[in-house]
Amino acid sequence: MSKKKFVQQTFENIDIVDISSEGLGVTKINEWVVFVEGAVPGDVCNINVYKKKRKFGFAKITDLVKPSEHRVKPECQHFGTCGGCKWQNFAYSAQLQYKQNQVVNAFKRLAKVEVGHTFDILGCEEIYYYRNKLDFGFSNKKWLTAEELKLVNESISQLDNDAANQQIDISSNRQINNGCGFHVSGAFDKVLDIQHCHLQEDPSNQIRNEVRRFALEKGYDFFNIRDKAGLMRTMIIRTSTTGEVMCVFSFYDNDTEKINTLLGHVKQSFPQITALLYVINQKGNDTIYDLPVQCFHGNDFIYEEMEGLKFKIGPKSFYQTNSKQAYQLYKITRNFAGLKGNEIVYDLYTGTGTIALFVSKNAKHVVGVESVPEAIEDAKENAKLNEISNTSFYAGDMKDVLNDEFITANGKPDVIITDPPRVGMHPSVVAKMLEIAAPKIVYVSCNPASQARDVALLAEKYIVTKVQAVDMFPQTLHVESVALLELK
């Protein structure tokens, strides 16, 4: 028996009542949940349901009947095509309220625990140009917008029937096909050509646009991920509050002459670049963590500063991508820990040791654990750089490192600070924390749902006394949450 073909449905005057954790507008049609792309709570719109499941569906707006009071004009020309800032049409004050609700609901509905006090979310002073790191990709299969497709089709339609070779010229035109920007969701081999991004301050846009212009002028091949061919692959731009700039280029072809020509032009055009680096990457993925990095000009690092501390950041280093708001996040973490100067502190998932070093002056000793060996080397180097002697750093899988022998060697912690990845902590790590029974746990999370799951397990011995949401990424659906757990 053949499967019944889905027929798209249109609904009129639909009220958007909420927004999902993925940033989609939410409506209900006879108790059937529909997620609407680009919709804002409070919108009244006509929608077309293009995908239907038993309990939910997905739709697009066909006509905005009445815009929400929270709807604003997006700043970015790429909004709607680029998926990086899905909430640019959503007023920032409303963004903060929904992020606050996301954190509150995670503890109330998922963790099912009482919270002693919930602080209002801490928003960003700068809601644009707040990132210190962006990764751009090059592709010879540029994602064509509706406007670009129209221009191409118009050009092709104007060709003479006896000039088929002209059509070949159009289809192979570098200006049309080559792009530098962000990978498009659902199309891994294409990038959206970005003219101006509102996430990172200049010279980020200036560098990207000049590199693309120069590469096109010189006829350099942009990467084709399917064929594994081309020179220009990726570019990372890092900036810091100290004014330093790092650029890391990834090339697929090891063409020394072209690489030196490009990097020489970048060096001359942007004297503010203090670290100009490159790698040759002929792997199947874009990661550079297992590749040697070559220094073309300047240093192989930049510095970031926070409250008198200096952090050395290399091309492979992890550092919070919103420097100014990271400072606020760490201050809240330190405040929740309530250190008096005589405590042993464990900083789990320490990364490059930023939090560990930040709280070290208020503790007797801080022990950091991280699975990435290179990050631990960065942490040790930053400790030396800042002449901090009351820290120890260990590399290894958390569930293996955090054992009885480790605790005996380093001392039982008075405070545990944990800042795990989005998936949260391994169940055995949570079990070990319950066994350790430190008087305080400060749980920093970039995913309220996984934080709530872990907190529910820790509730066996702990109560949640304080929670503070922190917005690190305006115009996006992401939110950080800091929770203080105290032993019952």
Contact 87, 79 (CB under 8 A): no
Whether 45 sits among the annotated catalytic residues: the reply is no
Active-site residue, selected from the candidate residues 76, 82, 247, 446? 446
Residue 144 is given by DSSP the state P
Contact 62, 14 (CB under 8 A): no
**What's the token pair of residue 229?**
């061919």
Kindly give, in sequence order, each residue whose CB lies less than 8 Å from that of residue 186, ignoring residues fewer than 6 positions away.
none
Is residue 203 reached through a cis peptide bond, with omega within 30 degrees of 0 on the bond before it? yes
Alpha-carbon distance 248 to 273, whole Å? 11
Let me know the angle formed at the C-alpha of 321 by 318 and 325, rounded to the nearest 5 degrees: 125
Q: Which residues on adjacent β-strands are paired with residue 313?
A: 302
Alpha-carbon distance 23 to 82, whole Å? 14
Contact 177, 142 (CB under 8 A): yes
Let me know the angle formed at the C-alpha of 85 by 84 and 87, rounded to the nearest 5 degrees: 145
Kindly give, in sequence order, each residue whose CB lies less than 8 Å from that of residue 171, ignoring residues fewer than 6 positions away.
177
**Nearest CA-CA partner of 67 in 49, 94, 85, 30:** 94
How many alpha carbons lie under 13 Å from residue 136 in its C-beta half-sphere?
A: 29
* Residues annotated as catalytic (active site), given as ranges: 446
